[in-house]
Amino acid sequence: MDLPLFEPLAAALGLILGSFATCAGHRLAHEGSVMSPARSFCPACGHTLSWRENIPLLGWLFQGGRCRFCKAAIPLRYPLSELLSAGFALAAAAVFGPGWHFLVAVGFGTLLLVLSLIDLETFLLPDVLTLPGAVAALLVSTLLPRAHTLGIGWQSALWGALAGGGGLWFIAWAYRRIRGEDGMGLGDAKLMLLVGALLGPVAVPLTLFAGAVLALPVGVVAARSAARRGEGEGLRTALPFGPFLCAGAAAYLLLGPQFLRWWLGAALA
């Protein structure tokens, strides 16, 4: 396939997958099923959307960000998720080129987006996605030839799963033993089980580091906002960590070698 044609098609695929991820995330968070009802609808009035209204990004723009029937505002998560997915697909196209590695990258990128959207709404990372995702990651790592950060082999996948899932499970267990309360959900451990199986043991600390760096400023802003409203407990304001881990994993998937060189350079400086 000609590369100039591949990149626009990759962006279009990203928009479609982003639209699916937003719909799937919302339905799984609130209804527990992706397929019921079969057609997309307005959450405010229940109006079944036409194919024109369902066009990723363009449907939102043509309607001015509002439902055509009830005029309720369409949440910004829809166009933002579609744009984010399109940007990730474009980056994956540039890194992997056309082929199975690109399809695996955008597939797992979509899964990470769905998990992030669910965690943002419910503070949960459902086992129905993380555990089958970890199995799929192990199979992909075993069967896919090595290219960039994918196809790491079954041994690295197992070590990565142990480091990711086992490491976070131990941290959550130790925190509860010491403090007598939960500080991190086991859903995060199962997410890192998936990440480790897909990207290997080296990706685990880098994903955790990137997630913590991304979460810190958001957490400070959320805590201050909650304090002004008289809610939360200051710096103990609850914040879902899953989306930040997903962002760190996606960054490593695309930029793992560059990230690792920077990490080692900073450590040795």
pLDDT confidence tier of residue 93, bands split at 50, 70 and 90? very high
For 36-72, write each residue's pLDDT tens digit. Answer: 555 666 666 666 776 676 777 777 777 877 777 777 7
pLDDT confidence tier of residue 224, bands split at 50, 70 and 90? confident
Q: What is the model's pLDDT at position 268?
A: 46
For 156-203, write each residue's pLDDT tens digit. Answer: 999 999 999 988 888 877 767 777 666 566 889 999 999 999 999 999
Q: With 70 as the cut, is the pLDDT of residue 152 above it?
A: yes
Phi, psi of 41, deg, nearest 5: -145, 160
Give the separation between CA 102 and CA 254, rounded to whole angstroms: 10
Q: What is the model's pLDDT at position 200?
A: 95
Give the separation between CA 11 and CA 101, rounded to whole angstroms: 16
Residues 6+ apart with CB under 8 A from 134: 161, 165, 190, 193, 194, 197
Give the separation between CA 102 and CA 133, rounded to whole angstroms: 17
Q: Which sequence spans correspond to the domains of the chain?
A: 1-99, 123-269
Pick the closest to residue 184 from 117, 112, 125 (CA basis): 125
Angle between helices 242-268 and 77-96 (to 10 degrees): 40
41 in helix, strand or coil? strand
For 113-132, write each residue's pLDDT tens digit. Answer: 999 999 998 999 999 999 99
DSSP annotation of 55 reads S
Tell me the percentage of the chain whose pLDDT exceeds 70.
Answer: 81
Give the separation between CA 129 and CA 163, rounded to whole angstroms: 20
Q: Where are the alpha helices (DSSP H) in the chain?
A: 3-30, 58-62, 77-96, 100-122, 127-143, 154-161, 167-179, 186-199, 203-228, 242-268
Q: Is the pTM of this model over 0.85?
A: yes
Tokens of 221: 């802003």
Euclidean distance between the first and the last CA atom of the chain, given in angstroms as a whole number: 43
